[in-house]
Amino acid sequence: MSEQKEQQTVGRQARHVVVVGAGMAGVQTAVALREQGFTGPVTLIGAEPHQPYDRPPLSKAVLLGTAEGSAFDVDFEALDITLRLGLDVTGLRPGAHELDTEGGPVPYDVLVVATGAEPVTLPGSEGTQGVHLLRTLDDAARLRPVLERKHDVVVVGAGWIGAEFATAARAAGCAVTVVEAAEHPLAGALPAEVAAPMAHWYAQSGATLLTGARVARIEPGVVVLADGRVVPAGAVVVGIGARPATAWLSGSGIALGPDGSVTADSALRTSLPDVYAVGDCASFPSARYGERLLVHHWDNALQGPRTVAAAVLAADGDGQPQPYDPVPYFWSEQFDRFVQYAGHHAGADTLLWRGDPAEPVWSVCWLRAGVLVAVLAVGRPRDLAQGRKLIESGARVDPERAADPAVPLKSAKL
């Protein structure tokens, strides 16, 4: 390397990278920068005062009191990553390359937006005593006494988080009623015919599931439904979805999608120079599926940071980032079942069942023009692992063999 080029590289490496958001995506971005050889200053800003932590255990071990916390096992000091915790970021001024925060302006050379998602609240319930969300460590701490005292609990929303909380509440001995506005659980994630068998899991666990039921209002000790039914409620937990936490970017000029996500490109660069976005707050174009994806799951927050780090280093003239186009993956532990999903089934033209959904274990495969594009596995982790590899390779499969649960899914490849 020539002396001039070496000096330029050193100068770029000295650029200050600021990561806003200290969840999985933010922490992994800071770590990935170091792992990939970035030597400049890195600052990680988190709105919560707690040491950065992982969220999935909040609805499981932390909630049930079998674990006190879920802090990431990262030595930030050894990695020379500066933590600024308990600091709210309120705005972005890209022309000045500065963030507005409650503690004053924070300059950056490179900015990574990793502010995640925030839960959707039930209209009219804000500030109501006994109404809870489950997104943060503090939320879990407030809910633990609810379970310890075995309150009657009403869960609003039969999505992933609603099912996981209902599972924990039943394990703690609470009477649980789940109220879902749609006609089946997981309405936003799965088609009715696939989600319908899951409705029986609630009754099997001792929980009551009310579908096609809307909440009219919450009163002390009860939830009043739109049809006049009254459900006893010592506590109410709202789990009706999440949206990208991007309101603080208003007025910055950054491009946002209709869903509120930062519209990143295939290298997770935003419309603003020197600004990247990753995790739950960012959507990205998927060549694999031919559409822009917004993925609110742990695995996306784990994988995306490697692309961001590579893109930052590439901007320094060090390498070339690979397009970010993962096979989306997530899992859920609910009602003594391990549920896994890989892929994206929108646009699929064929649905195949592997096994009987009335049984404890079964899977579903989605094909598009003969190509496997998604798989849902209930208690069949081998189907998920093999299916994910087939999806990654764009493999065509034999529908007859893929529908036979006795045939390994990998053996259905054409």
Mean pLDDT per block of 10 residues along the chain (414 residues) reads 45 83 98 97 97 86 74 96 98 98 97 96 83 92 91 95 95 96 94 95 97 94 95 95 96 97 98 98 96 95 96 83 92 96 96 96 98 98 98 97 97 97
Domain encompassing residue 352: 336-412
Q: Based on the fold, state whether residues 360 and 392 are members of the same structural domain.
A: yes
Residue at a domain's end among 219, 238, 257:
238
pLDDT at 355: 96
pLDDT at 128: 80
Rounded distance between C-alpha atoms, residue 33 and residue 39, angstroms: 8
Q: Based on the fold, state whether residues 234 and 260 are members of the same structural domain.
A: no
Q: Based on the fold, state whether residues 7 and 108 are members of the same structural domain.
A: yes
Q: Based on the fold, state whether residues 212 and 63 are members of the same structural domain.
A: no
Judging by DSSP bridges, how do beta strands 131-132 and 117-119 pair with one another?
Answer: unpaired
pTM: 0.93
Q: Based on the fold, state whether residues 112 and 153 are members of the same structural domain.
A: no
Q: Based on the fold, state whether residues 74 and 10 are members of the same structural domain.
A: yes
Judging by DSSP bridges, how do beta strands 337-343 and 371-378 pair with one another?
Answer: antiparallel
H/E run at residue 299: helix 298-315
pLDDT at 381: 97
Q: Based on the fold, state whether residues 247 and 234 are members of the same structural domain.
A: no
Residues 6 or more apart whose CB falls under 8 angstroms from that of 335 comprise 163, 166, 167, 201, 202, 204, 205
pLDDT tens digits along 90-145? 999 999 999 999 999 999 999 999 999 999 999 878 778 889 999 999 999 899 99
The candidate with the shortest Cα–Cα distance to 147, out of 53, 57, 61, is: 61
pLDDT at 7: 41
pLDDT at 6: 47
Which CATH number belongs to the domain containing residue 298 in this structure? 3.50.50.60
pLDDT at 57: 82
Residue at a domain's end among 284, 315, 346:
315
Residue at a domain's end among 207, 238, 269:
238
CA triple 319-322-325, angle to 5 deg? 165
Rounded distance between C-alpha atoms, residue 128 and residue 123, angstroms: 11
Tell me if 325 is assigned to some domain.
no
Rounded distance between C-alpha atoms, residue 132 and residue 121, angstroms: 9
Query: Dihedral angle at the C-alpha atoms of 29, 97, 243, 289, nearest 10 degrees?
Result: -60
Q: Based on the fold, state whether residues 158 and 302 are members of the same structural domain.
A: no
pLDDT at 317: 76
CB 273 within 8 Å of CB 281: no
pLDDT tens digits along 35-54? 999 999 999 999 999 999 99
Tell me if 140 is assigned to some domain.
yes
Q: Based on the fold, state whether residues 107 and 145 are members of the same structural domain.
A: no
| Alpha-carbon Rg for the chain in angstroms | 23
